[in-house]
Amino acid sequence: MISIVFSVLLILVVLGYFFGRQRALSSSGGTIGSLHSRPPYHGMYVASWVGIPSILLVLVWLTLQGPIIDMILVKSLSATKLQGLSQSQIDIIISQIKSLAAGNVFGEPDAEAREAAENYLRWQSIAQWAMFAAAVAIALAGMALTSGRISQLFRARHGVENVLNLVMIACSMIAILTTLGIILSLLIEAMRFFDRVSITEFFFGLNWEPQIPIREGQVTAGGAFGAIPVFTGTLLIAALALLVAVPTGLLSAIYLTEYANPRFRSIIKPILEILAGIPTVVYGFFAVLTVAPAMRDFGAYLGMDIAPNSAIAAGAVMGIMIIPFISSFSDDAINAVPNSMREGSYGLGATKGETITKVLLPAALPGIMGGILLATSRAIGETMIVVMAAGLIANLTANPFEAVTTVTVQIVTLLIGDTAFDNPKTLAAFALGLVLFVVTLCLNVLALRIVQKYREKYE
Amino acid sequence: MEPQVGMDQEIEKSTVPATGVSEKPGETAALNPKMKAKKVSVYYGEKQALFDVDLNIYEKSVTALIGPSGCGKSTFIRALNRMNDVIEGCRVTGKILLDDMDVYDPKVDPVQLRAHVGMVFQKPNPFPKSIFDNIAYGPKIHGMGSNKTDLEEIVETSLKRAGLFDEVKDRLKEPGTGLSGGQQQRLCIARAIAVSPDVILMDEPCSALDPIATARIEELIDELKQNYTIVIVTHSMQQAARVSQKTAFFHLGYLVEEGDTDMIFTSPNDERTESYITGRIG
């Protein structure tokens, strides 16, 4: 039914376009130049008035139809059947009737339920036909109204431009509203978590053991939600990643901008950027299958005990993953330093090295810092590599050879498998998610501010 | 007509500094050559930009290089301190002598050469550092002024010589990029002076400046020639006439004519020079 409605509306839109264009052509009296707007604009003007209000009506209708029919259904049920029932029990009766209407008969439904199911089906078909009629009527009304306006002087182009403007605004709002929705849902769930676990325990507790019994008689730990070990684990891995990525990325950027010949640069730069396109899951099993065993063997050779899922393996591989961020940001920043700075420095008898360290890097520092901050937020939010290569147990340690866990790993493990959305174990994931979101948001805003400020400088 | 106006100013100007120094335009022939270019040709890849230039640059005087755009005057000035080395595919043949040292000798380090032959560029290019650090940059990298007081002294003398000290003495810690265009260019000149070079090359130092700032720089060039050998590339013939003792006219990569500034502007030997200074070509 819905697809029929939409196809009919689509046909009307196309018809409206041609109709509008035709009207414009005939009103021009043969000389198109006498029209204010070219004929296709008239066509689009009619088409948008045919399509947009009717489609909006269908969407609104579809969202309201279900709840309204449900309401009527509840009203139609006899008072005796609903007497003394709670809201959730009424909901169960309603869904039983609905499944009966859909043809799934469970047990022996009573006569009243059968009747209600039939009523339900009838109301639904009435509602859909009404929707169809209303949509087509609005579409036709739109066509009649707008085609009457078409004349030589009618400013159809302005109308179409306004419509496009609104469409673009709506599209940009979608992204913003979705973000707001995400923040809101995180906030609400996190609030529910903090109802059960105190904020001070979460932010300052040193013990993270979120496995609490969800069935009676299940043997688990008592449940402790001190997130400090999770945060320190995240910071440890991110710090290790930066330790790998910052020198490598920066030095490769310096080499590419200042020393490499253009041919070499044109080959190496894309290859470096390919690193950014490798799926993180591939890095993940590279970390867990190649790097971690290699580190373990190497550690054994030196007489050190390195855990199989050590922080250093995850951190090192994550570092490799964020090299392209740092190198391409630094590359851009160093390139953006005007050539006159280099010449000025050379002209004073500075060597290339002195020019780079004393003039270019200080001038490019804001851009480089921006890149590092973005890479940091990427490292903190990175999930796949750490899920595969870092540990699950929240160790409070600064030793990179031990297993630690991160915020993202904990969120994943908390939400996998049997979950009940009303116990602190599951809700803890939202609290962690909120912290992660706030931290990465702050880092990104800071990074963008720095980069922006720096861009203004040389223009 | 314009060059005539320039000439009048030239004569007025050249009498003023002559009180302090013993050089009048007529006497410049007595000066010693500081740099000598012998059969210098410069190629950018396959393209030859400069053809067999022979030119002497005299000590403690101002040599102006004039000519229409693309005539090779900037290429030549950049050959003098090997700034062209930075440009990919650039090749120089012939000899350039600084005192008696061939600057293109493989044994010469261009970095050390540039400490002796400093450069000021077309657009003021102070580093994004404080005024103090801008000046101290050169002395620091060359290991001059090992302690703080020495360095402060170098900065102060350089700024004084560049005629900028009084304007900036209270804000040496502020960024050099915050100065006005003319101040920035004088800062760049001070920066060049700070490494105590023998020769200062100026590649159109006033082309990005307004007339008042230009006049200030021209005055400064006049004062600086007591201590330094100066080569200036300029588009403005009036400027060449005002500040220089020697002028060389380049055209299409050839050195057409060189000699005392008076002579070039009053009785040039070459037809092309005359056409240029009277405004018919260029």
pLDDT digits (tens, 9 = 90+) for A382-437: 888 988 888 888 888 888 888 888 999 988 888 887 777 777 888 888 999 999 99
Residue A346 with chain B: CB contacts under 8 Å: 83, 86, 114
* Residue A401: partners with Cβ closer than 8 Å, 6 or more residues away: A299, A304, A305, A306, A307, A310, A311, A312
Taking residues A50-77, what's their average pLDDT?
88
| Cβ-nearest to B83 among A347, A358, A362 | A347
What whole-number distance in Å separates Cα of residue B7 and Cα of residue A149?
76
- Helix, coil or strand: residue B91: strand
Q: Is A339 an interface residue toward B (CB < 8 Å)? A: no
Q: Is B108 an interface residue toward A (CB < 8 Å)? A: no
Chain B: residue nearest A343 by CA?
A: B83
Residue A362 with chain B: CB contacts under 8 Å: 127-129
Residue A358 with chain B: CB contacts under 8 Å: 137, 141
ipTM: 0.81
Shortest CA gap A329–chain B (Å): 20
- Res B261: pLDDT: 92
A358/B123 Cβ within 8 A? no
| Cβ-nearest to B192 among A261, A348, A351 | A348
Residue B114 with chain A: CB contacts under 8 Å: 346-349
* Residue A282: partners with Cβ closer than 8 Å, 6 or more residues away: none
- Res A455: pLDDT: 61
Least trusted range by pLDDT, from B20-29, B167-176, B205-214, B261-270: B20-29
What whole-number distance in Å separates Cα of residue B142 and Cα of residue A83?
97
Helical segments of A77-222, H only: 79-82, 87-101, 111-149, 156-196, 199-204
Q: Which domains does chain B have, with CATH numbers?
A: 2-22+30-128+204-277 (3.40.50.300)
Q: Is A279 an interface residue toward B (CB < 8 Å)? A: no
Q: Is B87 an interface residue toward A (CB < 8 Å)? A: no
Chain B: residue nearest A344 by CA?
A: B125
A347/B192 Cβ within 8 A? yes
Q: How many CA atoms does the CB half-sphere of A243 hold within 13 Å?
A: 13
When scoring B81, B109, B125 by the number of chain A Cβ atoms within 10 A, the one with the most, hence best to mutate, is B125
pLDDT digits (tens, 9 = 90+) for B75-106: 999 999 898 887 888 889 999 999 888 999 88
Taking residues A146-156, what's their average pLDDT?
85
Least trusted range by pLDDT, from A106-120, B218-232, B243-257: A106-120
Chain A: residue nearest B84 by CA?
A: A343
When scoring B117, B134, B137 by the number of chain A Cβ atoms within 10 A, the one with the most, hence best to mutate, is B137
Shortest CA gap A344–chain B (Å): 7
Neighbours of B13 (CB within 10 A): 16
Q: Is B129 an interface residue toward A (CB < 8 Å)? A: yes
B16 φ, ψ to 5°?
A: -70, -60
What whole-number distance in Å separates Cα of residue B188 and Cα of residue B159?
10
Residue B88 with chain A: CB contacts under 8 Å: 261-262
Q: State yes or no: pLDDT of A137 exceeds 90.
A: yes
Taking residues A46-73, what's their average pLDDT?
90
* pLDDT band (50, 70, 90) for residue A217: low
* pLDDT band (50, 70, 90) for residue A31: confident
Which CATH class, in words, describes the domain spanning A208-457? mainly alpha
- Res B28: pLDDT: 46
Q: Is A350 an interface residue toward B (CB < 8 Å)? A: yes
| Cβ-nearest to A363 among B114, B121, B128 | B128
| Cβ-nearest to A346 among B83, B188, B192 | B83
| Cβ-nearest to B195 among A340, A348, A359 | A348
Q: Is B83 an interface residue toward A (CB < 8 Å)? A: yes
Task: Give the Å distances, CA to CA, from A1 to A4, A58, A126, A373, B121.
Answer: 5, 12, 12, 52, 76
B109 DSSP assignment: -
Q: State yes or no: pLDDT of B16 exceeds 50.
A: no
Residue B142 with chain A: CB contacts under 8 Å: 349
Domain coordinates in residue numbering, chain A: 2-154, 208-457
Placement of tokens 């053809």 in the chain: B51
Shortest CA gap B87–chain A (Å): 11
Taking residues A64-85, what's their average pLDDT?
80
Contact between B192 and B164 under an 8 Å Cβ cutoff? The reply is no
Contact between B110 and A343 under an 8 Å Cβ cutoff? The reply is no
- Res A213: pLDDT: 58
Chain B: residue nearest A350 by CA?
A: B111
- Res B6: pLDDT: 41
Q: State yes or no: pLDDT of A54 exceeds 90.
A: yes
Residue A262 with chain B: CB contacts under 8 Å: 88
